Amino acid sequence: MTYDLIIGDYAYSSWSMRAWLLFDRFGIARRQTEICFDDGDVPDQMPDWAPAKTVPTIRTPEGALVGDSLAIAEELASRHPDMGLWPEAPLARATARWAAAEMHSGFTALRGDCPMNMRKAYTDFAPSEAVERDLRRLETVWDHARQTCAPEGPWLCGDYGIVDAFYAPVAARIAGYGLKVSPLARAYVDAHLADPAFRRWRALGLVHGPDLARYRRDHAEGAWPGPKPRAARAVAQGTPENDACPYSGNAVTHLMEMDGRIFGMCNARCRDKTVADPEAWPQFMALV
């Protein structure tokens, strides 16, 4: 069962991030189309998806169009009941649905004042009273979910699921703007920053698409607070250890160096996303 998925810019499209994480985290097959927010109005860039007019949108194998990240999540959960996108236990499932729905419709001050930008980490952002209220509400929702569901791991309601994908862009905002939250909330943010799927999305955001000025803010910048990527760089010459790209299986044309070793990819995008965060990509690390 393969879906078609259309998304926006990795660096900025928080709604797209939610759907993409579900496909990536749960290994759901997809054919992916990407648009750039700098190439005009979103609906004008997706005429083949009408009447849908926002990203993300999916087309099901039967041809149904499903826009809106929450509708996409519910449809995937219905079609893949054995994957555990929602928790199986009724108490945890109800709690997760409520928390995800509140994220979907709320926290407008945080969204408006702190647009997601996976390329920046600001050090002197001063949140407004409205943003502070949103942060305290997040702490309340997250504490309630964890107290109600008593998960063994770092996620809100048990194993990673829809509710966590929905809060991943919030974690990116808290990290990127240096927002102060409680120790328990910070631990949940840190779990997102360390999650390999989150790191893959950010790596793509670092290297794919233009730097859009309207998402930048005039604040001092510092280092991204997540795990420090393993050092790697693109190189023009060398003898790669592999003949085939670890992602596509195609012939090697672009090279990178890590730890004094040369590896090859089939195109610049494969190479650059790997250089941005090598350990986020299992196919590449299998070579290493």
What is the rounded CA–CA span in Å between residue 111 and residue 44? 24
**Same domain, yes or no: 56 and 27:** yes
CB 145 within 8 A of CB 95: yes
Which of these, 37, 32, 30, lies nearest to 8 by C-alpha position? Answer: 37
CATH code (residue 73): 3.40.30.10
Residue 70: its H or E element: helix 69-79
From residue 284, give the alpha-carbon distance in Å to each of 86, 253, 279. 30, 15, 8
| pLDDT of the chain, 288 residues: tens digit per residue | 899 999 999 999 999 999 999 999 999 999 999 999 999 999 999 999 999 999 999 999 999 999 999 999 999 999 999 999 999 999 999 999 999 999 999 999 999 999 999 999 999 999 999 999 999 999 999 999 999 999 999 999 999 999 999 999 999 999 999 999 999 999 999 999 999 999 999 999 999 999 999 999 999 999 999 999 999 999 999 999 999 999 999 999 999 999 999 999 999 999 999 999 999 999 999 999
**Same domain, yes or no: 168 and 66:** no
Q: Tell me, yes or no, whether 152 lies in a domain.
A: yes
Q: Tell me, yes or no, whether 221 lies in a domain.
A: no
**Same domain, yes or no: 109 and 72:** no
The domain in which residue 120 lies consists of: 90-201
| Domain limit, last residue, from 201, 220, 241 | 201
pLDDT in tens, 40-75: 999 999 999 999 999 999 999 999 999 999 999 999
**Same domain, yes or no: 68 and 139:** no
From residue 24, give the alpha-carbon distance in Å to each of 4, 20, 76, 182, 259. 13, 6, 13, 29, 28
What is the rounded CA–CA span in Å between residue 79 and residue 135? 34
**Same domain, yes or no: 142 and 102:** yes
Bridge partners (DSSP) of residue 255 are 235, 264
State both tokens at 150. Answer: 């008593």
**Same domain, yes or no: 196 and 96:** yes
What is the rounded CA–CA span in Å between residue 54 and residue 197? 23
| Domain limit, last residue, from 49, 83, 117 | 83
Q: Tell me, yes or no, whether 269 lies in a domain.
A: yes
CATH code (residue 126): 1.20.1050.10
**Same domain, yes or no: 181 and 157:** yes
CB 131 within 8 A of CB 110: yes
DSSP reduced 3-state for 258: strand
Q: Tell me, yes or no, whether 225 lies in a domain.
A: no
**Same domain, yes or no: 77 and 111:** no
**Same domain, yes or no: 184 and 244:** no
**Same domain, yes or no: 183 and 110:** yes
Q: Tell me, yes or no, whether 213 lies in a domain.
A: no
Q: Tell me, yes or no, whether 71 lies in a domain.
A: yes
SS (H, E, C) 196-233: HHHHHHHHHHHHCCCCCHHHCCCCCECCCCCCCCCCCE
Q: Tell me, yes or no, whether 141 lies in a domain.
A: yes
pLDDT in tens, 134-171: 999 999 999 999 999 999 999 999 999 999 999 999 99
Say how many domains are in the chain: 3
CB 61 within 8 A of CB 3: yes
Q: Tell me, yes or no, whether 134 lies in a domain.
A: yes
What is the rounded CA–CA span in Å between residue 183 and residue 205? 28
**Same domain, yes or no: 57 and 94:** no
**Same domain, yes or no: 135 and 193:** yes
